[in-house]
Structure 1
Amino acid sequence: MADRVPNIHRSKLYEDLVQRLATQPVPGSDRKLFPTLREVLCFAALLGFSEGRRLPLDRSHGTEDISYQQFEADPAAEDLLWTLAVAESQDVEILREGEEGRCADIFEEYANGGLALIKDYFLRNGGEYPDRALLALLRERGYLQPVAAEPDLAAVTF
């Protein structure tokens, strides 16, 4: 099936955000929050799907793309693309040959919805530190539990 899958597109409306998430190091570290553009899009697609935010790409603003080979290089990313398509369509027939473009469209639209959500959150709450802002967004939406107070180490025995 992968022989016929088109490249994965993203709207240029969110290009600054995508680049920032993929290139800005986590403060105090030489590690990036998302090491690749593919991982940014996968995170955004999962967030978009979880939030029911499927937004068609506004192609009038232009698009950027990632070669489908980048998804093939990471089986988890490739599986995510197909899984979202099945979950959205509620039909495994979407995995048949010839439906690859439809699967890519679903992934792109959920990624676009997730990027819109992230951008809106950053605009409302500041995004100076994207790592902290994303954690706050995930906590606010109920995906992460609030951090409990420091444990009482006096109660720990060995």
Structure 2
Amino acid sequence: MSIEAKRLDDVRIRRPKQHDDLLLIFKQDKIFASNKNALVFAASLGFKKQQRQSFDESSEPIMLRIFDDNTDIPFIYSLALAETDDISMMTKNKFKEAVLIFEEYANGGLSYIRSVLDPATALVSLEAIISELDETNTEDMFKDW
């Protein structure tokens, strides 16, 4: 294993501790198969709603190897590119910065979900969020790209 690969393998994706209960609901109600999937969805929602929120306290981070190299990692890079409009964000030496952007949008997305979620009907609430997104013009999502 190269030093560069080892360095990236050491990366952990933080989970905002303030949303542990929400992630637990998603898991118990089988809405998402994993916390990783919930974070990817939340990051895309956070980006769409332009809710990027930093956080200090993290639960057990998710190892990078859990994230799919063909879908999740390119999404993390693309999110960072869309946020910064800086093509260098697509390089390995900027990956930790890209991860921070992903984490903060995931936190923002989880905060948005929390603001509209009825815990008794979590799946229905998420379906309503997705329906709302379908009704908006998603073609302009990356208009400034």
Match of 1:75 among 70, 80, 89: 70
Runs of 4+ in structure 1 over 6 Å off: none
| Number of residue pairs matched by the alignment | 130
1:115 aligns with 2:107: no
Give the structure-1-normalised TM-score: 0.75
- Alignment-derived partner of residue 63 in structure 1: 59
**Residues 1:37 and 1:133: Cα distance change in structure 2 (over 3 Å):** same
Question: Deviation of residue 21 (structure 1)?
Answer: 0.6
Q: Distance in 1 between matches of 2:107 and 2:21?
A: 13
Match of 1:137 among 124, 129, 143: 129
Query: What is the Cα-based RMSD across aligned positions, in Å?
Result: 1.7
Q: Distance in 1 between matches of 2:59 and 2:40?
A: 17
**Residues 1:49 and 1:40: Cα distance change in structure 2 (over 3 Å):** same
Q: Distance in 1 between matches of 2:93 and 2:25?
A: 35
**What is the CA deviation profile of residues 115-141 of structure 1, one whole-angstrom value per residue up to 9, with x for unaligned ones?**
00011112xxx22121101112233xx
- Alignment-derived partner of residue 4 in structure 1: 7
- Alignment-derived partner of residue 51 in structure 2: 53
Question: Any stretches of 5+ residues in structure 2 without a counterpart?
Answer: 136-145
Question: Any stretches of 5+ residues in structure 1 without a counterpart?
Answer: 25-31, 146-158
Q: Distance in 2 between matches of 1:86 and 1:116?
A: 23
- Alignment-derived partner of residue 100 in structure 1: 95
Contact in 1 for aligned 2:25/2:119 (Cα 8 Å): no
Identity of aligned residues (%): 31
Letter in 2 for 1:90: D
Letter in 1 for 2:73: E
